[in-house]
Amino acid sequence: MGNNILTRFNYWELCRYPQLSKLNSYMYFYSLVLGAIFSRCRNKYKKLGLFSLGTLMYYFIYLILQGNKFTSLFYMLLFFIIPIFSSEKIYNNIHLIKKGFLIFIVFTSVSLGISYYQYKFYYNYANPGETIVNRIFGLQGHVWWGTDMIVSNNNIDKDEQLKNEIKAIIHSDDENYTGMKYLMTLVAPQEISNRYIENNVNFTGGYPAILLVIMNPIGIIGCEMLLGLVLGSIIVYIDNKIRRNQILSIFLSGNILWALYYYYSMGSSFMLFSKTVLLCLIILIYSELFYKGKSKKILFDTI
């Protein structure tokens, strides 16, 4: 590896088998499926339930050792507990609500502890507590308000940036600096943004800031309503599949859900319209049209 310092941002670039990063990108869908299996099997098939829980713990350890502190760990936990809570009657279920609150408190405490340790002893920050607060509450706001101020005070060529976003969707990449990369070059000094991008480090909170540089106010409102409808629909769909224990459908729809979450975080449209997402959508539509109501022997039904 030469003089390169290994971090979570260059881990796959420097590792011996960088091709495995493709599998790594699917771990949130695995977590959703593991949660569905755990919810289904924790009482009747205890060994399988314990296996799914153990696999989740393995992913947590792997992410922590890789240098992740909060976001990746949060998404892993979120996708795992979605099937568990979806399969239970949450309304007026005080025990389940208390359990969920306890999980949130424990997770937040552990995550903050990991963050404090890494900032103090690994990154050598003088005031790690202040850094954590700024990271949580400052960075997202900086992207939004910085973009809003620049768009309001400067003549941004929205049509040109919209063309770049469309090109990124067609070519499935962001080499032309779209989404979060474009916003980083917009709101941060060139020296800082270039260094971050070269090291594969991103800001966060790219949505809805990205809409400010490609649409007028009417278009932004319409896009917000459309994406809200899509997100709500996919959540209802996944909830329905969880209740029916249709594991493969959960995995495929989870892929789409993660693409939406990623877009809400990074504003990168090429991920939202990737070939993988479109393929999952086609398979799900096909299964609903041609297999709805048929025997449970088909691939999409219960384990």
| 3-state secondary structure (DSSP) of residue 105 | helix
What are the pLDDT digits (tens) for 60-118?
A: 888 877 777 777 788 888 888 888 777 665 555 667 667 777 877 888 888 888 888 87
Instruction: Reply yes or no: is the peptide bond before residue 217 cis, omega within 30 of 0.
Output: no
Residue 289: which pLDDT band, with cuts at 50, 70 and 90?
confident
Residue 282: which pLDDT band, with cuts at 50, 70 and 90?
very high
Q: Are 128 and 119 in contact (CB under 8 A)?
A: yes
| 3-state secondary structure (DSSP) of residue 162 | helix
pLDDT at 125: 77
Higher pLDDT, 121 or 299: 121
Most confident of 34-38, 97-101, 289-293: 34-38
pLDDT at 295: 43
Q: What value does the mean pLDDT take over residues 6-32?
A: 69
Cα dihedral value 252, 254, 260, 266, nearest 10:
-110
Q: Are 280 and 253 in contact (CB under 8 A)?
A: yes
What are the pLDDT digits (tens) for 43-54?
A: 677 778 788 888
pLDDT at 229: 93
pLDDT at 254: 86
End-to-end CA distance of the chain: 44
Distance CA 169, CA 174 (A): 8
Q: Where are the alpha helices (DSSP H) in the chain?
A: 11-14, 21-24, 27-41, 46-66, 71-86, 94-117, 128-137, 139-153, 158-171, 179-187, 190-198, 209-212, 217-243, 247-266, 269-272, 275-291
Q: What value does the mean pLDDT take over residues 228-237?
A: 90
Q: Tell whether pTM > 0.85.
A: no
The yes-or-no verdict on residue 303 having pLDDT over 60 is no
Mean pLDDT of all residues belonging to the chain: 78
What are the pLDDT digits (tens) for 116-171?
A: 887 787 777 778 777 777 776 766 678 888 888 888 887 788 888 888 888 888 87
Residue 3: which pLDDT band, with cuts at 50, 70 and 90?
very low
Domain limits of the chain? 23-137, 154-212
Distance CA 231, CA 229 (A): 6
